[in-house]
Amino acid sequence: MIKQKIALALAANLTLAGAAQAQSARDYISIVGSSTVYPFSTAVAEQFGKTNSSFKTPKVESTGTGGGFKLFCGGVGTEYPDIANASRPIKKSEIETCAKNGVKEIIEVNIGFDGIVIASSKKNKPMALTLEDLWLALAKEVPEPGTGKLVANPFKTWKDVNPELPANKIEVLGPPPTSGTRDAFVELVMDHGCKKFPVIKDLEKSDEKKAKAICGTLREDGAYIEAGENDNLIVNKLVANSNALGIFGYSFMEENLDKVQGETVNGVAPNFENIADGKYPISRPLFFYVKKAHVGVIPGIKEFIAEFTSEKAAGDEGYLSNKGLIPLPKDKRKQVAADANSLKTLAP
């Protein structure tokens, strides 16, 4: 019984001490956001912690882009994060939420590109895909061959989509709707792939919203398989099922070149050079956003920005490119680094 009392007293103490502690200032940078930027942000955070002995290593949370902005825009103060990673530019609505909560000055830093690859097992013959093929194979409603009217997707094999492709069953393993990779895939592949078809063009003139919905809705009859957020899992599933195609980030393909191959899209192979040049059509910019009000309050934010934008990190041969980040072109990189280090904020 006495032991129990001690335990109870201890527990009560703990809770009180916790509340007191929470009010004291945080002395490490808190980063939240995209799971795509996470591998790069963590690499910089670790390097930053190692080289600057006067600062603590930043904490990087993987919350997803949207979840990250929600926390980031919560307000100004040490209980809110200082930096948000994002695999897409900040939305207008998010800027408004931020402003409403007092986060008025935001610094945007573009760190590079991430390619999204359509890959298959090495055992398969490579396929030459186009954005139109991908859209026809994966959209929920497509123009019927012959009539051109919109019908539920009738295509079963890639040959049905395009006679030049092999007669393999359409099976694509990709990320679920909660993933930023999925958003990017819809935006870069589906929304572009549908544009060439006359029925969509007509629809765009009469009912733009509906056209967008038709373009961006993936089929739900089992041809597109939601394989979870874990890209390594998709790679392993491709090895097990040589018929299937998989959608995932470029860095995962680079690490598994002995198991999977990237399909060419519109005649361009997904490799480092093509993504860096902007030739490969499915690539997206990656960002991080800094709360200017926290610079100078939380120690090390300025130095962290400097480390992230330095040539030894984000340059052509920087350590981030070893981790699979596709760097920005040289001029753009210089511009971004200069803007970021002078703490230039987004125009309101």
Partner 1 sequence: MNKPIAPAAPARDIKAIVNAGLAHRHAAERRFRLYGLVAISLGLAFVVLMFASIISKGYPAFWQTYIELPVAFDAAVIDPEGKRDPKVLENADYAALVRASLRSLFPQVEGRRDLRALYALASSSAPLQLRAAVLDNPTLIGSTQPVWVLASATVDTFVKGNIDRSLDETLRPIKDQDIAWVDKLRADDRLERRFNSILFNHGDSREPEQAGIRGALMGSFYTLLVTFLLSFPIGVATAVYLEEFAPKNRWTDLIEVNINNLAAVPSIVFGLLGLAVFINFFGLPRSAPLVGGLVLSLMTLPVIIIAGRAALTSVPPSIREAALGMGASKLQMVGHHVLPLAMPGMLTGSIIGMARALGESAPLLMIGMVAFIVDIPKGMFDPATVLPVQIYLWADLPERAFVERTSAAIMVLLAFMILMNGLAIILRKRFERRW
Binding site for partner 1 (CB under 8 A): 1, 4, 7-8, 10-11, 14-15, 18-19, 21-23, 26, 28, 30, 32, 35, 38-39, 41-43, 45-46, 49-50, 53, 56-57, 59-63, 79, 229-232, 249, 251-252, 254-258, 317, 323-324
Is the Cβ of residue 1 or residue 347 nearer to partner 1 in the bound state?
A: 1
- What sign does the dihedral 54-60-65-70 (CA atoms) show? negative
Closer by beta carbon to partner 1, 43 or else 215: 43
Q: How far is the CB of 129 from partner 1 (least distance, A)?
A: 21
**Residue 105 C-beta: closest distance to partner 1, Å:** 23
Give alpha helix (H) positions in 139-230: 158-161, 180-185, 191-193, 198-206, 208-216
Structure tokens at 296: 């100078």
Amino acid at 223: A
Beta-strand relationship, 264-265 and 128-129: parallel
Q: Provide CB contacts within 8 A for 67, sequence distance 6+.
A: 32, 33
Please provide the distance, in angstroms rounded to a whole number, between the alpha carbons at the two ends of the chain. 62
- Between strands 106-121 and 283-291, the pairing is antiparallel
Amino acid in the structure at residue 126: P
Nearest to partner 1 of 20, 347 (CB atom):
20
Calpha distance 70→348 (Å, rounded) = 18
CB of 256 to partner 1, least distance (A): 7
In the bound state with partner 1, the residue whose beta carbon lies nearer, of 45 and 136, is: 45
Is 317 or 331 the residue whose CB approaches partner 1 more closely? 317
Measured from the CB atom, the residue of 17 and 151 that comes closer to partner 1 is 17
CB of 4 to partner 1, least distance (A): 5
SS3 of 11-25: the string is HHHHHHHHHHHHHCC
What is the nearest approach in angstroms of partner 1 to the Cβ of residue 89?
Answer: 24
Q: What is the DSSP letter of 325?
A: -
In the complex, what is the shortest distance from the CB of residue 156 to partner 1, in angstroms, rounded to a whole number? 32
Residue nearer to partner 1 on the CB measure, 239 or 343 = 239
DSSP line for 207-243: -HHHHHHHHHPBP-SSSEEE--S-HHHHHHHHHH-TT
Give least dist CB 87 to partner 1, A. 14
Q: Distance between CA 39 and CA 249 in Å, rounded?
A: 12
Three-state SS for 258? coil
Residue 312: CB minimum distance to partner 1, A: 11
CB of 233 to partner 1, least distance (A): 8
> Is 141 or 226 the residue whose CB approaches partner 1 more closely?
226
- The closest alpha carbon to 289, from 108, 74, 68, belongs to 108
- Residue of 5, 25, 113 whose CA lies nearest to 297: 25
Residue 211 or residue 326: which is nearer to partner 1 going by CB? Answer: 326
